[in-house]
Amino acid sequence: MPSTRRLSLSASASPSRGALAVEEAKGGTALLIVDMISCWDFPDADKLLPAAVAVAPSIAALKRRCKAGGVPAIYANDNRGRWRSDFSALVELSMAGGGPGATVTASLAPDNDDYFVLKPQQSAFVATPLEQLLGVLKVRRLIVTGVASDQCVLSTANDARMHGLEVVLPKDCTATQTARRHAMLLEQCATVFGIATTSGSRIRLPAARARKR
C-alpha cells in the first residue's frame, strides 16, 4: 500500500525531511474523506457499510478530479481505541478483513502525497492536527465527504464553518444508515446550517495541471 504523509508540525522542516506540506492547496481547496477506511466492527456497521459502498465510487471520482487539479486529499478516521496503530495499519486491517469493507478501502486507497489524521471524537477537528494542516495548506474551502453524513461528517462540517472555512458537503459523496436520515440531513444543510450540498461532479475545482513532457 502506498504510504501517506505523516503529520509533522515543524514549520521549518524542508521537503526532504518530510515536511508537513510542500505546496499550498490549489484554489485554497482541500478534500476531506471521513471514516471511509474502516474495519466496520462497530455497532450499526452492518447498516452503514452498504451506504459507504454506494458512495465510494463518487468519492473516488471526486478525489481523482481533485488530485488532477492540485487539490490535496486528507483522510480522517476513527482510531477506535487502537492507540498503538497508525493509518497504514488501519488500511492493512481493513483490506485483510475482505468483503465490502475491503472493496471500499481498495477504491479509495491513499496515495503517497495524501494526508491523514486519526480522530478520537466525531469531529475531525477535535484533538487532531487538522486545523494546523489546513492552515499550512492555506485552505479556505473544505469539501467534506464520507460517513456518517448526519454524525461525523456533519460534526466536522460544522466545526470547519466555525473555523471560518467555506464548506461543501456533496450529497452523492456522503451517506448515513438510511436514505431517510440522509435526506433529512441534506434538508437541514440547506435550511439550518447553510452548507452547500452540490453533487461531487458539479463542484468547481482548479483546472487540471498540465502533464510534464
Contact partners, residue 184, CB within 8 Å, separation at least 6: 150
pLDDT computed for residue 21 by the predictor: 53
15 pLDDT above the threshold of 70: no
Note the Cα 191 to chain centre separation in Å: 24
Angle CA 121–21–95, to nearest 5: 55
Helix or strand run (H / E) with residue 168: strand 166-168
The CA R_g of the chain, rounded to the nearest whole Å, is 16
pLDDT computed for residue 12 by the predictor: 34
25-202: CATH topology is Rossmann fold (3.40.50)
Amino acid at 61: A
Q: What is the pTM of this model?
A: 0.88
pLDDT computed for residue 17 by the predictor: 42
- The domain limits of the chain are 25-202
The shares of helix, strand and coil residues in the chain, as percent rounded to the nearest 5, are 40, 15, 45
Q: What would the pLDDT profile of 162-191 be if each residue is shown by its tens digit?
A: 999 999 999 999 999 999 999 999 999 999
Cell numbers of 193, please?
446550517
